Amino acid sequence: MSDRFLVSGGARLSGEVAVGGAKNSVLKLMAAALLAEGTTTLTNAPEIADVPLMAEVLRGLGAVVEQQGETVTITAPAEPKFHADFAAVRQFRASVCVLGPLMARCRRAVVALPGGDAIGSRPLDMHQAGLRALGATSTIEHGCVVAEADALVGAPIALEFPSVGATENILMAAVLAEGQTTIDNAAREPEIVDLCEMLVQMGARIEGAGTATLTVDGVDRLHPTTHRVVGDRIVGATWGIAAAMTRGDVTVRGVRPEHLQLVLNKLGDTGAKVETYDDGFRVTHDSRPVAVNVSTLPFPGFPTDLQPMAIGLAAISDGMSVITENVFEARFRFVEEMIRLGADARTDGHHAVIRGVEQLSSAPVWCSDIRAGAGLVLAGLVADGVTEVHDVEHIDRGYPHFVEILRSLGGEIERVSD
């Protein structure tokens, strides 16, 4: 039996929330610490369930990992182990990001195919193709990615799609390769920029962070560093969308508004008043939101991680919204749970058509992934009665102190253990 949330509808969220480091960055930075013997320190690390999971993966590779609050230290050994076993890796997708560092340090890696959220197919073809371009062999054997190289040599690499994971693994392998590597059609997400900044602090030579072309000149070795994790734009935007849905007034601190420009523009289109600051933003809404259309795309497009929140917003907006999912095909599983809550929604391939209703109705619903779970809680905030949200351990993987923050903003939510 898993924990569940009891969410009472009707509260108007109001107040200020501080957002910590990004889940989509900290796990990759932890893996990158394997690239240099010695102790690397990460500050502003989020207190989420995935951080200790990644710590277990790194410990299995010979690292010493400690976490005290928002500080994580990783001491990488002189000779890391190269086999990331199934028991640790299967629990979450981001564990595959140890593949690049292991190839860079050990010239071989055996990494169990990862598990993670049920949001669609995320094959490792581009990860493997990138390693092969650098001179490695890479196959799938007995449920593991098996890669090996006598030497890694820089090469031009063009990605079919700006995959965040493939960009990260190729980048981390290339920093210790011989010669120059170019990655065309690279992912441009702020979390990629954060990884590049930390690698440069460690002594890597990287140009083009935040653009579609990364140029990496390999170096002989890297050194440990101390790095502050970039703020979590997805968590920050979740609270901003919650403000619009509940006709509230929420100030978010700890994120850079330029990382959420399109999202904030969409909130403005719904009728919200949006103010931006150097380290955050404020969303105020005092009427029913106006329906808007959303298409998810890689950065700087609308993040796929915010698609469930966009659907929740559309479900209670005035008018019809079309939500198009261009990244993960199975993310519309969330719509089935929204229909339980009274949403007028239909899906057809990559599109969901939602006709807003004035109020949702409470019902038992189930989380299929981190973001779907957060979206269901937001929907429960604008439903009549008490909504039971089950399998909330997913939410713990991406949102630190979720219940406490919602309560501090005036939300009525309770965690119940069975």
In order along its 418 residues, the chain shows pLDDT tens digits of: 679 999 999 999 999 999 999 999 999 999 999 999 999 999 999 999 999 999 999 999 999 999 999 999 999 999 999 988 756 666 666 678 999 999 999 999 998 887 544 444 457 889 999 999 999 999 988 888 899 999 999 999 999 999 999 999 999 999 999 999 999 999 999 999 999 999 999 999 999 999 999 999 999 999 999 999 999 999 999 999 999 999 999 999 999 999 999 999 999 999 999 999 999 999 999 999 999 999 999 999 999 999 999 999 999 999 999 999 998 766 788 899 999 999 999 998 899 999 999 999 999 999 989 999 999 999 999 999 999 999 999 999 999 999 999 999 999 999 999 7
Predicted local distance difference test score (pLDDT) of residue 331: 73
Candidate list 3, 50, 85, 117, residue with the active-site label: 117
Please state whether beta strands 108-112 and 83-84 pair in parallel, antiparallel, or not at all (unpaired): parallel
Does the annotation count 117 as an active-site position? yes
Q: Is 327 known as a binding-site position?
A: yes
CATH 3.65.10.10 fits 3-19+231-417, yes or no: yes
Q: Which residues, other chains included, contact 150 with Cβ-Cβ below 8 Å and sequence gap of 6+? A: 107, 135
Is residue 186 helix, strand or coil?
coil
Peptide bond into 289 cis (omega under 30): no
- Common-topology check for domains 3-19+231-417 and 23-228: yes
Domain ranges within the chain, ordered by starting residue: 3-19+231-417, 23-228
Neighbours of 37 (CB within 10 A): 16
Element housing 355 (H / E): strand 351-355
Predicted local confidence at residue 279, as pLDDT: 97
Q: How far is CA 347 from CA 308, 331, 333, in A?
A: 13, 11, 10
pLDDT at position 116 is: 47
Nearest to 397 by CA among 46, 16, 147: 46
Residue 383 has phi, psi (to 5 degrees) of: -105, 155
- Strand pairing class (249-253; 14-18): parallel
Residue that has been written with the tokens 């190839």 in this structure: 103
Whole-number pLDDT of residue 119: 40
Give me the pLDDT at residue 37, please. 98
219 is annotated as contributing to ligand binding: no
Q: Tell me, yes or no, if the pTM score tops 0.75.
A: yes
pLDDT at site 121: 45
Radius of gyration of the CA atoms of the chain, in A: 21
Length of the chain: 418
- The class of domain 23-228 in CATH terms is alpha beta
Instruction: Please give the angle made by the CA atoms of 349, 355 and 359, to the nearest 5 degrees.
Output: 130
- Which pLDDT belongs to residue 115? 58
Give residue 91's pLDDT: 64
> In sequence order, what DSSP letters do the residues of 272-338 get, joined into one string?
-EEEEETTEEEEE--SPPBP--EEB-STTSB-GGGHHHHHHHHHTSBSEEEEE--S-GGGGHHHHHH
Strand partners, 38: 76
- 44 annotated as belonging to a binding site for a ligand: no
- Evaluated on CA atoms 60, 64, 68, 72, the torsion sign reads negative
